[in-house]
């Protein structure tokens, strides 16, 4: 979806300040406020610019510089932007994702699903030198089935089974959930028991064609299981808009990049379309 980039930057500014709270105005690398660095990374990823390109593009965008409170003659160097991605911890990007999701109506009903992001586009030389042979990252997300806002993200390189990652994601958001829908990859009695103990209705497809499985699947379809496709829509939107591969080299950078991508999709839907 094509959006008004100025509106996008303004939305990022407001959400970043809210996510950072009292830390928003604290100086980060280069003496610029933390919220400015967060918005610069949002702008960089949204526009698909490299670190070197970002300050060069900003030089010709007077209105965006005004929103960020930056002087066109004293923009952050690309190395400053690069280093700030190291210094801004994961909690910053998770807070940005959480606050961006809160800007959408919350139904209390969510879809749980997993997808994969490619990491082969990062430097093959770097991967060989560091001994990293994993080429795909597994991402489990929790998506509101009405607003399509991504509520939470879990990323792993070891490809843990869905029955291990699913409860972890649900547990973190238990206070805001009434029901969760998921496919049969998330089904085992341990997971069902754990999620039910959180007072959340767990609508999960059973495997096989036994009478119990058929009866359970018919029942959960009547309760709205068909809304599970909302999670797949959020994946499709993210990959079509921002790509299906991570560009960062380090593990921690790749994890942060994926969380930021889903936060940007939440923010994009708040912006004026072109």
Note whether 126 and 157 are same-domain residues: yes
pLDDT for 59-73, tens place per residue?
999 999 999 999 988
Note whether 225 and 113 are same-domain residues: yes
pTM above 0.85, yes or no: yes
pLDDT for 170-215, tens place per residue?
999 998 999 888 888 888 888 888 888 888 888 887 777 777 778 8
Note whether 129 and 200 are same-domain residues: yes
**pLDDT for 241:** 87
**pLDDT for 249:** 74
CATH classification of the domain holding 119 = 3.30.420
**pLDDT > 70 in the chain, percent:** 93
**pLDDT for 128:** 60
Note whether 110 and 165 are same-domain residues: yes
pLDDT for 118-128, tens place per residue?
876 555 555 56
Note whether 78 and 203 are same-domain residues: no
Note whether 227 and 125 are same-domain residues: yes
- Residues (pLDDT < 50) of the chain are none
Task: Determine the structural domain holding residue 22 and report its residue range.
Answer: 5-101+249-269
Q: In sequence order, what are the beta bridge partners of 204?
A: 182
Note whether 123 and 232 are same-domain residues: yes
Note whether 253 and 228 are same-domain residues: no
For the chain, the domain total comes to 2
Asked whether residue 227 is assigned to any structural domain, the reply reads yes
**pLDDT for 104:** 93
Note whether 255 and 198 are same-domain residues: no
Note whether 37 and 91 are same-domain residues: yes
């Amino acid at each position: 979806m094509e959006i008004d980039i100025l509106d996008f930057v303004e939305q990022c500014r407001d959400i970043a300040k809210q996510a950072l709270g009292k830390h928003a105005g604290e100086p980060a690398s280069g003496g610029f406020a933390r919220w400015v660095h967060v918005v610069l990374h949002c702008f960089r990823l949204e526009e698909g610019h490299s670190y070197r390109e970002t300050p060069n593009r900003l030089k010709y965008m007077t209105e965006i510089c005004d929103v960020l409170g930056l002087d066109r003659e004293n923009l952050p160097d690309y190395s400053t932007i690069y280093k700030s991605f190291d210094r801004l911890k994961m909690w910053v990007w998770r807070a940005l994702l959480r606050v961006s999701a809160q800007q959408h109506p919350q139904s209390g009903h969510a879809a749980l699903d997993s997808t994969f992001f490619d990491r082969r586009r990062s430097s093959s030389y770097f991967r060989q030198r560091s001994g990293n042979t994993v080429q795909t990252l597994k991402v489990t997300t929790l998506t509101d089935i009405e607003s399509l806002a991504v509520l939470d993200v879990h990323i792993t390189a070891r490809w843990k089974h869905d029955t291990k990652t699913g409860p972890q994601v649900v547990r973190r958001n238990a206070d805001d959930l009434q029901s969760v829908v998921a496919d049969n990859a998330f089904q085992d009695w341990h997971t069902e028991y754990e999620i039910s103990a959180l007072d959340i209705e767990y609508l999960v497809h059973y495997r096989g064609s036994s009478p119990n499985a058929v009866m359970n699947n018919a029942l959960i379809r009547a309760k709205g299981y068909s809304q599970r496709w909302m999670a797949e829509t959020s994946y499709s939107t993210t990959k079509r808009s921002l790509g299906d591969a991570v560009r960062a080299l380090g593990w921690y950078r790749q994890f942060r990049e994926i969380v930021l991508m889903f936060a940007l999709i939440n923010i994009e839907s708040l912006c004026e379309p072109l």
